[in-house]
Structure 1
Amino acid sequence: MIETVNPTEWVQPKGYANGMLVDGSRLYVGGQIGWNGDQVFETHDFVGQTEQALANIAAVVRRAGGEVADIVRLTWYVTDKKEYVARQREVGEAYRRVMGRHFPAMTLIVVAALLEDEALVEIEATAEIGKSGAAS
């Protein structure tokens, strides 16, 4: 069984889903960018957008009944390698505020641009809901 997962308090997406839950446990979270649930960018700062994108992922995972500890993979797309490298400490701090000390398999890809002109980072995730042993 495949179920669409979208946080109910967010503006509903058009033409895509924020998440797809397969057989009640495998969650694929579509690329999340640094805008809020109303699809508004509150910051144009790389670290701020990174934290928001991660918070968006966490919201989709929680909507599916999971916790961040259930995330098994993250794929990051960044538009500026130099900024990412220069601000790794700040990125790490933002990451830990959302994800704690949970470090799944990760890939980082540098891209020329993202679909939304204001977006500086996009992150997608895969989670195995209920498999981490974390309380839901």
Structure 2
Amino acid sequence: MTGKTIHPDGWAPALGYANGMLMADGTLHIGGQIGWTAQKQFEAKDFVGQMEQALRNIAEIVRAAGGDVTDIGRLTWFVKDKGEYLAKQREVGAAYRRVFGKHFPAMSMLVIKDLIEDEALIEIEATAYIPAAT
């Protein structure tokens, strides 16, 4: 089975990876998204701001593949600071709903030591199913 690379228009090049891979069966695998913009700039320096940007990045990749956030079936979160996440639950929920509304796919969260990009506080990967792709 071969996949089609998904790269939203106007985004800086993905070097050595794909932001998304749309498989022939409609499964969309979205690589880990961090809190930088389409031009790979960290505008947000705080956890909630980076989390919201990562979710916006995921939503944009899904839309570039022909779907919408409601097509997302799984999110895996990688966070560097469990305490910050727990302390900001209200803000996390508000930011989440701004991007995904009341769509809550299956989720896992892992607390990790570090991420490749030094400024990154969170990384989120996703899996979606785009029915029109079949």
Using structure 1 for the length normalisation, give the TM-score: 0.94
Q: Tell me which moved more, 20-29 or 58-67.
A: 20-29
For 2:63, the equivalent position in structure 1 comes to 62
Output the CA distance in 2 between the equivalents of 1:2 and 1:9.
21
CA RMSD of aligned residues (A): 1.0
Secondary structure of residue in 2 paired with 1:102: coil
Secondary structure of residue in 2 paired with 1:127: strand
**Structure 2 matches for 1:37-116, cutoff 5 A?**
37-116=38-117
For 1:134, the equivalent position in structure 2 comes to none
Q: How many residues align?
A: 131
Output the CA distance in 1 between the equivalents of 2:31 and 2:115.
14
Output the CA distance in 1 between the equivalents of 2:18 and 2:43.
22
Secondary structure of residue in 1 paired with 2:75: strand
Say whether residues 1:14 and 2:15 are aligned partners.
yes
| Amino acid aligned to 1:56 | N
Output the CA distance in 2 between the equivalents of 1:8 and 1:24.
23
Output the CA distance in 1 between the equivalents of 2:122 and 2:102.
21
Residue 130 (structure 1) shift: 2.8
Secondary structure of residue in 2 paired with 1:69: helix
Runs of 4+ in 1 over 4 A off after TM superposition: none
Residue 118 (structure 1) shift: 0.2
Output the CA distance in 1 between the equivalents of 2:87 and 2:68.
30
Q: Which runs of 5+ in 1 are unaligned?
A: 132-136
